[in-house]
Structures are given as C-alpha cells and as structure tokens.
Amino acid sequence: MSADRRLRPYVESNVIMTVVRILSPFVLTYGLFVMFHGAESAGGGFQGGAIVAAMVIMLAFAYGMEPTRQWLSNRLIVLLMGGGVLTFAGVGLGAMVLGGDFLEYLEYGSVTASKYGIELVELSIGGIVSAALTGLFFAIVHGFEFKRGEEE
C-alpha cells in the first residue's frame, strides 16, 4: 500500500487541470446556493454539501490526492463537522430555551426569523455533509494513518 503512494497513479493532463480550475468556483458557489435554499424553495444542506464535496474530490483527481490532502488540513474538516453539529443543536436547543419545542423556529419571533433559522440549520448540515464526505474520501485514499471520523 505505502509502496505505490510515491508513484503517481495517473498522468497529469493539462486539459483536466484547466477545465477543473475554471469549473471549481462556479460549482462551489452553486453548492452554496443550494445550501442556502431550503426554507421556501427546493434545496437543502444535504444536496449542497454533496455538491461541494464532489467538487473537492474532482479537484483531488485533477491535482493529485496528496497535494489536495495537504491543502485541506485535517483541522478544517474536523472543525467544520463539529461546528456544524453544534450550530444545529444550538438552533434546536435555542428554540427550547425560548420556551418552544426542540427546533421550533417560530419561537425566534417572526416568520422571517424562522426562515433565517432554517437556513442556518441548512448551512450547518451542508458543512457537516461536505466535511464528512471529503474527510472519509481522503481517509480511504490515504490508507489508514488517520482514524476516520464517524460523526456523519
């Protein structure tokens, strides 16, 4: 397993690298766009997170696994995951603190406030899903030095 890590599994091709370099900003913004929409229109954290994760994996294919892995430091992935769960729980528990049930957005005052609440939750879920998927992908690619995080 470790023997073939030095070998580059595929030939670096400029075509893919340029296409990916052009595509990535648009796909990432589209992913964010999907994450934001969840309250009144189609969209949501899961799909957005999946799109962002797909883009990061495409980057890894284009620019090689190891460089992308070094670029995406482990701490960022863990912070994104942990932070996402804590914000989701925070929004839910906040509603309870204000006297409503768990995740009762109307407790946050008006309808718009609840819309923002939903979008905040969608964003945190997007963060969790994208971080989890990229983290797991790199764990598999990297062999087994880094113990996989389980909190999908």
Per CB under 8 A, the list member of 8, 67, 96, 98 interacting with another protein is 96
* 83 scored as a contact of another protein (CB under 8 A): yes
Taking each helix axis from N to C terminus, what angle separates 111-141 and 14-36, rounded to the nearest 10 degrees? 150
The distance of closest approach from Cβ of residue 63 to another protein in the complex, given in angstroms and rounded to an integer, is 22
> Is 151 a residue that touches another protein (CB under 8 A)?
yes
Question: Can you tell me which of 86, 98, 111, 113 binds another protein, judged by CB under 8 A?
Answer: 86
> Does 94 engage in binding with another protein (CB under 8 A)?
no
Burial 87-107 (b: 16+ CB within 10 A, else e): bbeebbebbeeeeeeebbbeb
Answer yes or no whether residue 60 interacts with another protein by CB under 8 A: no
What tokens appear for 138 in the block?
Answer: 């790199």
* Shortest spacing between CB 8 and another protein, in angstroms: 20
Pick from 123, 52, 130, 65: nearest CA to 91 = 123
